[in-house]
């Protein structure tokens, strides 16, 4: 049976009080949906995921797009581990960049998006399962696995997701897009396999 979730539009996030987002998540859960995820724009998607986790019992929760430009990777990993524990393993961590106009407005941000996203995921994944990078901490038990998805519009990011992520969250995809995305994911997955051969 296919799983069906709801991803809220970024334009709604700044206009909707947190209590209403939780009520929407509760209603989606009662209606049989499998997930409700939030983008990060004018709100903190991790804080929204925490409120959503506390207000629901079954659905998958989390940010469909955590802005990698705004968060230090170790903090993203530590927050994800905490939210996975609070939600009893219902967290989905979506990572991605933002549109070019917003990137251009970020002072000092000059790195290319995909290489930066690759490096970011390379820091977050081990920090969620082992020890926080560059911090003198002991390895801690991770009570629940945390699936890491890439939010994407671009086929090159979909290919990267096939290589390094557990899945993709497609943004603004037309009906024709999934076939091309599947091809990109296959190329990325083949690239990941060849690294380990």
The string of pLDDT tens digits covering residues 71-101 is: 889 889 989 998 999 999 999 999 987 666 6
pLDDT tens digits for range 145-156: 899 999 887 888
Q: Is the pLDDT of residue 197 over 50?
A: no
Angle at 160 between CA 135 and CA 191, to 5 degrees: 105
pLDDT tens digits for range 120-145: 999 898 888 765 555 555 556 677 88
- Structural domains present in the chain: 5-157+164-172 (3.20.20.30)
Number of C-alpha atoms within 13 angstroms, CB side, residue 177?
14
Q: What percent of the chain is modeled with pLDDT above 70? A: 79
pLDDT for res 50: 93
Q: What six digits make up the tokens of 18?
A: 């947190």
| Cα–Cα distance for residue pair 33/4, rounded to 1 Å | 6
Counting other chains too, the contacts that 117-122 makes at CB distance below 8 Å and 24 or more residues apart are 117/68, 117/150, 117/157, 117/160, 118/160, 118/164, 120/68, 120/73, 120/95, 121/95, 121/148, 121/150, 121/164, 121/165, 122/164
Angle at 152 between CA 184 and CA 20, to 5 degrees: 145
| Cα–Cα distance for residue pair 26/20, rounded to 1 Å | 10
pLDDT for res 58: 95
- Tell me the helices (H) and strands (E) count for the chain, helix number first: 8, 6
Q: What percent of the chain is modeled with pLDDT above 90? A: 29
For 64, counting Cβ atoms within 10 Å of its Cβ (0-12 exposed, 13-18 middle, 19+ buried), the class is buried
pLDDT for res 98: 65
**CB-CB neighbours of 196 under 10 Å:** 5
What pTM, to 2 d.p., does this model score? Answer: 0.84
Q: What six digits make up the tokens of 28?
A: 């989606």
Per-residue pLDDT, averaged over 110-116, amounts to 79
pLDDT tens digits for range 4-35: 787 776 556 566 777 888 898 999 999 999 99
pLDDT for res 1: 47
Q: Is the pLDDT of residue 191 over 50?
A: yes
For 89, counting Cβ atoms within 10 Å of its Cβ (0-12 exposed, 13-18 middle, 19+ buried), the class is exposed
Q: Is the pLDDT of residue 164 over 70?
A: yes
Report the Cα 150 to chain-centroid distance in Å.
6
Per-residue pLDDT, averaged over 160-164, amounts to 91
């Amino acid at each position: 049976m296919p799983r069906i979730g709801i991803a809220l539009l970024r334009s709604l996030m700044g206009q909707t009080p947190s209590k209403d987002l939780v009520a929407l998540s509760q209603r989606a859960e009662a209606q049989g949906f499998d997930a409700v995820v939030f983008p990060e724009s004018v709100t903190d998607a991790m804080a929204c995921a925490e409120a959503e986790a506390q207000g629901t019992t079954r659905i998958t929760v989390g940010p469909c797009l955590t802005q990698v430009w705004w968060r230090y990777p170790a903090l993203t990993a530590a927050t994800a581990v905490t939210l996975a524990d609070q939600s009893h393993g219902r967290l989905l961590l979506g990572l991605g960049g933002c549109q070019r106009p917003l990137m251009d407005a970020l002072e000092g941000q000059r790195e290319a998006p995909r290489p930066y996203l690759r490096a970011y995921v390379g820091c977050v994944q081990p920090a969620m399962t082992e020890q926080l990078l560059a911090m003198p901490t002991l390895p801690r038990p991770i009570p629940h696995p945390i699936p890491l998805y890439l939010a994407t519009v671009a086929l090159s990011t979909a290919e990267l997701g096939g290589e390094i992520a557990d899945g993709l969250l497609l943004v603004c995809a037309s009906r024709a897009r999934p076939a091309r995305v599947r091809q990109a994911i296959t190329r990325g997955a083949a690239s990941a396999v060849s690294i380990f051969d």
